[in-house]
Structure 1
Amino acid sequence: MHSFDDFRAIVKADEPLAPHVWFRLGGPASYMARPGTLEELLGLLRRCRSEEIPFKILSGGSNVLIRDEGVKALVIHLESPAFSDVAVRDNVVEAGAAVPLTALISQTARAGLGGLEFLTGIPGTVGGALRGNAGDRQGAIGQLVLRATVIDASDEVQVRERDDLSFADRASNLDEPVILSAEFELEKADPEAVVRRMRRIWIVKKENQPYGHQSSGCIFKNPSPDLSAGMLIEQAGLKGAKVGGAEVSDRHANFIVAHPGASANDVLQLIDQIRQRVWQQFGYELELQIQIW
């Protein structure tokens, strides 16, 4: 057992993780911390380094599946106002890593700024979106980033300028332990026109995604910009396939729905089944877009 006595106001032992992730599945964290300030976060990271305690960063939980046995680590939940501020200066928006994408898009629209509408309907937070370069066929978040503030592997706060950053399809070189915030350069736009574009995108996405929130975002990365994982899974005849309480969505084959009574193990077995079938039939090795803890 590790001692977090001096952090007991913000650290709890054996904390359930299922309520904090979209799947609503999985076991507890050995410890969970909710730092309220940057100083508390840095203190926790330094403690983890000095005592060789593994840690993981959790924010929105839309792309994380927790194993049934839980996580033997300190899970640091970034959620307080310290990590979810949004500030607008002219056409530049600075957003904390814990800001939900939905909040970022709506706040920038109200400020008369456009350019983020393509992120409408994509779950998660700014930090996760940056790490995985979230987007769709219309674009990706990386193309709008001016700079990002991170905590590096030496527990130092660093600013990564645009020239230091590279973004690819669902990937970035932002591999530092913690992303704190980012600045985005947007364009002036009529707020009503931005909202109309958001509504159009939302309607299209909702037509093709599962109902309800007890599922995750897309499970697999697309093998290429022109080839969707969902299409491969559908062509492999796996829409509606089930393992226990986990089911491949009949609305979009790259979503797995966790029905009441499902376990994380059900989802993992279904993921394995999908990967095997797609490999056997089409020769593509599907790569996970979600994280498995």
Structure 2
Amino acid sequence: MKRFASLFVLTLMLFALVPAAPAATKKKKSTSDDSSSSTTSTKDVPEAFPVADGVPKITAGSAILLDAKTGKIIFEMNADQRRPVASTQKLLTSLIVAETGDLDHKVHVEASDTWAEPTMLYIKPGNVYSRYDFLNVLLVHSMNDVARALARDNAGSLENFAARMNAKASELGMRNSNFVNPNGLPIPGQYSTARDMAQVALAAYRNPIIRGIVCQKSVTWHYNDGRVRVFETTNQVLKRYPLCNGMKTGYTEAAGHCLISSASHNGRDVIAVVLGDNKNIWNDSYKLLAFGLSS
């Protein structure tokens, strides 16, 4: 009875204050990330969270769920299957930049930084922004041009930064990954696994800079020309469910819908990595987070 009551309370907390799903913005078809992921239909999300004693059934290609404090695996499915992971790898990009430090450092935008489609901040050559401001808009709204600017500023070139990504991956114990660019856009030879991305997620979750950014539901951006825009998070789990506290979305046609998400309740912290999913990405992530928090 005590366990049932606990699960009932958890269910209410997860589904309390759920706003109506926002209308999808019509966009041109692309192979790039997050523009589609952020507007994936939520009409099939159940009114009552399917928390159960059994393992959740999900439609993703790969997934893993772990305790963020101990690293203990709670659930896994095809966790070592290589696949593209889209913009979720921006967590690794951001981790490298955050650990480099000097976040007030000014990044001077170059023309090559702007060569990215289609989720873009539309920065221009000659613009100057801080690393910290770029990290905020990168993690909250997944701007591909920002990823390029941060990578080039950090390592001198995208190629050098890719080498740093792979070195960091090795340091984190990732044995089944190879990174070629900082933003996760499709390119031959780039792949990871749910298990490996869980290691990135753990490191990012334990980094106070990253953790303080990914929990934001929006960021206000001040362009150099005086314009101001508010960019909302692409993470629909974060927007709708109060126990979620981050992390990063991803989408390409090759990768499918991807989400690394985290949640906390009663001293328990969990991280779910869901890769290669369809429109069920949000619901599958909900299921795993709730299962982890209640198990």
What TM-score results when the alignment is normalised by the length of structure 2? 0.25
Computing the radius of gyration from Cα coordinates, the structure with the larger value is: 1
Larger RCO, structures 1/2 (Cα 8 Å, 6+ apart): 2
More strand by share: 1
Structure with the higher fraction of residues in helix conformation: 2
